[in-house]
Amino acid sequence: TRNGHYQFFPQRWKGISQAAKDLVAKCLTVSPIRRISSEGALAHEWMGEGLTLPKTLISAKSLASTYYETKKQRHEKYGQRSDEDQGNRLKELNDDFTVFLEERVCDSIVSAVTGAGRTVCGASVSSYQTKFKEDSPTGLPFAHFYAKEAQLGKGGFATVYRCRHKSSGMYYAVKEVDTTNCRPIEITTLREEVTALKYLRGAPNIIRLYDVFIEGNITYLVLEEMRGGTLMHRIIAKEVYTEREAREVCRTLFSAVNYCHKRNIAHRDIKLDNLLLHEENNDASIKLADFGFAKKVKRENSL
Ligand code: PIT
């Protein structure tokens, strides 16, 4: 990513609009100053209803296989990501990016052609209120209020379970983090994650943090339940999709990112696996999740 080396391979990009490629190139610009902003992306030509998009049917299978091939290759190259690698990734992320940028002469050939957009889009983000009352101030443990059910996911020091709030019968997801073997940098990161999630509460397309219980070495993050799996799963389940559908997803994604950036939060791990779906009345809403690498930045050009 940092080297900005990429190509639009014709076997994948044939039949895709020039506007789409232009936006992708602008997003892949290495220099954060010249890279398109989330507002710029929302105002980009590709986002406008005025543009007639090609009717090309994109094969979901081919996209999914590319995605997993890349992951597999990375896995083969670097092996199973250990806890130490996770720490190194954090260190790399937190390193001063400035030195690296100064050593770069220009962006990659493709992205050098296209400068970052500057247009400001007045996309409004409505917030909503919930009547949820936190249980953690009572000092009683998580298990007093919630019953843990099926495991939803696992990674690093954390496991995500479905859980039922005993008194209300409502369902949530709980991210359980065991900090026993965590190094100081990882504890800081967990704090940053909680800070970011609390700060972003009320955003329509960001997963909501309801409550936090800290019990010795175990931290429980009570999160909104998303029942539709990840966007990657959804794409795999589809035979074909179109630029039109992709545009809807991007609109949601860029407004979620814009909400974060307005509050100086950088997510730093945006990918299909971290976009969760919630299906209600045949209507799927998409929310940005996993703020495990998120950071509140001091300077805007760090975003
Ligand atoms: C769900 C269902 C699921 C995973 C999650 C939520 C996880 C969400 C999450 C994880 C994070 C974070 C914010 C949200 O910072 O399968 O409802 O690490």
Q: Which of 149, 172, 175 for a ligand 1 pocket mutation test, highest count of atoms within 8 Å of Cβ?
A: 175
What six digits make up the tokens of 259? 């909400």
What six digits make up the tokens of 241? 């999709």
Q: Which residues contact 31 (CB under 8 A, 6 or more apart)?
A: 101, 104, 107
152 CB near ligand 1 (under 6 Å): yes
Rounded CA separation 33/115 (Å): 10
What pLDDT does 130 receive?
54
What pLDDT does 64 receive?
76
Alpha helices in 120-176 (DSSP H): 142-145
- Write down the residue that tokens 């509050």 correspond to: 263
Mean pLDDT by 10 residues, the chain (303 residues): 86 93 95 93 96 91 77 69 65 68 58 32 36 92 98 90 97 97 91 93 94 96 94 87 94 96 93 89 83 86 71
Measured CA distances, 209 to 3, 84, 173, 179 (Å): 35, 27, 10, 19
Q: Which residues of 31-167 form beta strands (DSSP E)?
A: 58-59, 146-155, 158-165
Residue owning the nearest CA to atom 16 of ligand 1? 152
What pLDDT does 60 receive?
84
Q: Which of 148, 159, 207 for a ligand 1 pocket mutation test, highest count of atoms within 8 Å of Cβ?
A: 207
163 CB near ligand 1 (under 6 Å): no
175 CB near ligand 1 (under 6 Å): yes
Q: Which of 222, 223, 260 for a ligand 1 pocket mutation test, highest count of atoms within 8 Å of Cβ?
A: 223
139: left (phi over 0), alpha (psi -120 to 50) or beta: left
User: How far away, in angstroms, is 21 Cα from ligand 1 center?
Assistant: 30
Rounded CA separation 260/197 (Å): 10
DSSP letter assigned to residue 206:
B
User: How far away, in angstroms, is 213 Cα from ligand 1 center?
Assistant: 16
Report the relative pairing of strands 275-280 and 265-266 from DSSP bridges: unpaired
160 CB near ligand 1 (under 6 Å): yes
Helix H or strand E segment including 67: helix 60-78
Q: Which atom of ligand 1 is nearest to the CA of 158?
A: 18
What pLDDT does 104 receive?
66
Rounded CA separation 55/250 (Å): 17
Q: Which residues contact 100 (CB under 8 A, 6 or more apart)?
A: 2
Contact between 231 and 277 (Cβ < 8 Å): yes
What pLDDT does 98 receive?
65
What pLDDT does 121 receive?
30
Helices 83-94 and 184-199, interaxial angle, to 10°?
A: 60
**181-188: long-range contacts (C-beta < 8 A, 24 or more apart)?**
181/83, 181/157, 182/157, 183/87, 185/87, 185/90, 185/91, 186/86, 186/87, 186/90, 186/157
